[in-house]
Amino acid sequence: MHKRLTPDSRLPDLAAAQCGLISAEQALMLGLSRESVRRLVRQSYWTRLSRGVYDTTPGADGINKRIWAAALRAGDPCAVGGEAALLLYGLDRRVDRIVIWTPDERHPRSAPEVHLRRDHIGRLAHRRDLLPRIRAEDAVIDVAQHLRIENAAGLISEAVRRRVVTLRSLRRTVDGRARVRNRKLLLALIADLEGIESTLEYVYRRDVERAHGLPKGARQRSASRGTRSDVLYDGFALLVELDGKAGHVDFESGFRDMHRDNVHALAAWTTLRYGSIDVRANPCLVARQVASVLSASGWPGTLTPCPSCRHDRRHPQTGL
């Protein structure tokens, strides 16, 4: 009979760092023979996930483990890309298919859950971390160029808000590539997102402010100590708060919003607060209300009707 196998003492630490996974190559480097690996599988200590990849903690699962399995299967060098890379950088992303970048000279074979892609532009040169991933800027541009404009705005604004990338670094990344899908649109979007931290803020600027000729408000500015407002119309004492799901989803946040509005009211600031439905479904109504307050505060401009305004028969000022 074989004695019970005790792996090299370094192996459990490496497996733990890799979500319980180990490659056949790593096992051999740590002193295990191929027969030892097969015996561990036969005795159900390990399970074989795919060719050359073994799970030392059978039964445990999760997206990070699946990403590790894809990277180990691809072999070194490789780097995680796409939505999976964005997830590893801390963004809130759904990963339907894991993208793994490999050297250009390889001819990888993809699987239903893993897309192996050849790197033609040097993404692998900048890979980083224990679980190698491409630069955040490359991952953002790779994904954003295939998204609808609002979804791309949401991705870029989240990445900037979380300080994963900057708008400047994204511009450099686009400029440094010979081919980018929707290049002009993407560069215009990046330029347009200065100071914007959410998709809702972007839609407000596009469909409410710009589409109706309203003055350009300052973004993420403070009207009182310890606060930031989504849009501040300096000189007209008007604040616009856009309550999307981020930061406005519980009782405590709602109480803070009310307290902040009261403080601003005492300082003669008017606060208009809108949700996603208001901005997306009724941008003309929102624009009329904002314009009404601005005009009452001395704005000399005139509301410019957008193409959708003629379909809205409500009162031109109040929207009622």
Q: What is the DSSP letter of 224?
A: S
Closest CA to 269 of 216, 226, 231, 212: 231
Q: Has this prediction a pTM greater than 0.85? A: no
What are the two backbone dihedrals, phi and then psi, of residue 184, each rounded to the nearest 5 degrees? Answer: -60, -45
pLDDT score for 317: 46
Q: What is the 3-state secondary structure (H, E, C) of 137-167?
A: HHHHHHHHCCCCHHHHHHHHHHHHHCCCCCH
In angstroms, the Cα distances linking 17 to 64, 94, 129 are 11, 23, 12
- Arithmetic mean of pLDDT over the chain: 86
Say if residue 315's pLDDT is above 50.
no
Within 13 Å of residue 133, how many CA atoms lie on the same side as its CB? 24
Least Cα distance to 58 among 43, 70, 72 occurs for: 43
Q: Are strands 238-243 and 114-119 parallel, antiparallel or unpaired?
A: unpaired
The average pLDDT across 48-55 equals 90
Whether 288 has a pLDDT exceeding 50, the answer reads: yes
The pLDDT value recorded for residue 67 is: 96
Q: What's the CA gap between 138 and 146, in Å, rounded?
A: 13
Q: For the chain, what are the domain ranges?
A: 10-55, 63-134, 139-192, 216-311
Higher pLDDT, 139 or 248: 139
The residue whose two tokens read 């319980």 is 20
Rounded Cα–Cα distance for residues 166 and 211 (Å): 27
- The SS3 of residue 265 is helix
Residue 54 bridge partners (DSSP)? 22, 48
CA distance between the termini of the chain = 86
Domain 216-311: CATH class, spelled out? alpha beta
More confident residue, 144 or 235: 144
* Residue 239 phi, psi dihedral angles, 5° rounding: -120, 140
